[in-house]
Structure 1
C-alpha cells in the first residue's frame, strides 16, 4: 500500500499538532498552501516541519495529494471542503465543520457524488479515555444516566484573535462548547431539544455560553467560554443510578499525559488510569484507512450534520430565549 499523502490549507497553530500526528500515522505531508506564501509565518511553518509551500490553497488541491486537512477560519471550512472534494481529494476539516447544518448537508451531498471520504476533526472521540467512558455508560456500569455535566473554557486575552470575529464564525460554542456537545452525543446519542443562554460581545460573539440538552430521563448541561480568566478548564461528569464518573478532560489531552477516571459507587472510590495516547494520530489513522476502504467510516459527514443541528439550535435558543426542538428537517 502506498503512503498516504497529505496537503494542508493554511499554517494555523492547530496544524502544528496535526503534522507530527500525520507522520505518526504513517503518512507523508507533502504540501502546504497559504494565503501569503511570502509571509514570515508561512516560511517559519514550512521550515519547522519541512513541508514545501506550493502556493495558495487551490495549488494544494491541484497537487498530487490524497487527502487535504483544512484548519482555516470557520467561515472558510465549508467552501474549501467542497472545493477539495470536487478536486478529488479526501478531506479532514477542523471543527466546527461548517457554520450551520444546511452547509454541512451540502458537504454530505458532494461527498456522496465524488465518492471521497470527508470527516470533522474531533480527536477526543478516538482517545481511549473517552471510549472507556462511553463503554462504562453504554454497558450500564453507572446504572441509568441521570446527569451529564461538562465544561471547557479559558481566557482568550488577545482582542485581535479571529475567534472574537463574528464574520469569521467566532464564538465560544463553535470553538470549545462544540467539544462538550460532541462528547455528550458520543455517550447518549442525539438530544430532543435544547435551551441556552449566552454573554454576547458588542460584535455579536458569544464570549460564554451555557446550554442544556434534553434526553428524556437525563439532565445534560454544559458551559463554555473565552472570558473565564483562568487556566484551561476541561471537565466531564456522568452521574448514574449506580455511580458517578469524573474525568478532567473533555477535549484531547496531550499525547504524553495519562488520564485518570474517578469512579464513585456505594463500594467506594476507584481510580482508573488511562495511559497516554495521541488521539490525533489515532484519528488520522482511522481516516486514512476509511479513505482507502480498509476500515468502516465511523463518522461520515452525516454525523457532522447532526452535530451542527445541535449547535444551530443552541444559538437559536441563546438568541431568542426559547426552548428549541431539534428537527431533522431543519437542514
Structure 2
C-alpha cells in the first residue's frame, strides 16, 4: 500500500499515473493552508509539495515528472522489501521450515491469489501469522477477533485471528480477508488446514536449524547432538510450534542429556498422536549413548573400567559401543 499526498489541482494527472501502478494507493488531497496539517497527519511515502520537514522514508516532489518517478521508485522499494521479508521468513522462521510444510505454504499462497476471503485452520500453537506474513510480504493489518472490528482500513489485506467457525467477516471493500480459526468454518468459505507438528515431524530438523540460525544472528553458537535431534523428532509435540520453540530454547541451555530429555516431556500438553514405544526407545538410546560416551571419557577409553562405572558386562558394552559408533 502506497501512501501519497497530492495537491488538488493535479489530481486528474495523478489518477492517470496510479492506474499504471501494480500496487494499492491510499491518497489524499490538500489545498492551500491545510498542507502542513496534512503532512503531519500521517506517514506518507510520497508528497507532492514543498519539503517543510525532514521525514524519513518520505519523498517530496514538485513536478509531475518527479511524481511519476517517485511512485515507481517507492513501488520498486516496497517490492524489494516484500521479497526480502519472504526470504527471511523462509530462512529464519521455524514455523515455515521443511519440505512438508512448504506444500501447505504454497497452498496458502494459491488461496491468497485466488480468493478474497479464506481461512487458515490449525490447532493452537501453530504460528498462523507466519503464513500471512509470507503471502503478504508483511503488509497487512492484524486483528484479533472481537465484536467491534474496524471496517475502514488502509491495509490491502486484513488478518483476523482466533475467529469462531461461524464468524461472518465484515465487508472490507476491495480488501483481502484471511481468518485464523481453530476449527473449520461453518460458513461457506474456502480454507486451508495447517497440519499439526506431529503430522510433519520430518520438518523438525529443519525447524531446529531455523532456531539455530536465528541464535547465530544474535552472536550465539550451539551444537545439537544427532541423538537429541532424533528425540525431538520422535516426540509428538501436542503444543505444536509454540511448544517446540519453548522447549528447544530451554534445551539449548542444558548440557546434561537426562535434563534435556526431562525438558522435552515436562509440562506435557497432551498425549494425542504419541507413539510411546518409539519415543521411549529413542530416549533410552540417546541417554544410553551419552552415558557410555561419558564413561569412556572418564576411563580414558579403558572398556573394563567403563564397565565398572556403568555396572555393565564387557560383552554388552562392546555391543553398545559398536551400535552407537563409539569405538
TM-score by length of 1: 0.20
Q: Which has the higher contact order (CA 8 A, sep 6+)?
A: 1
Quick check: which one's strand share is greater?
1
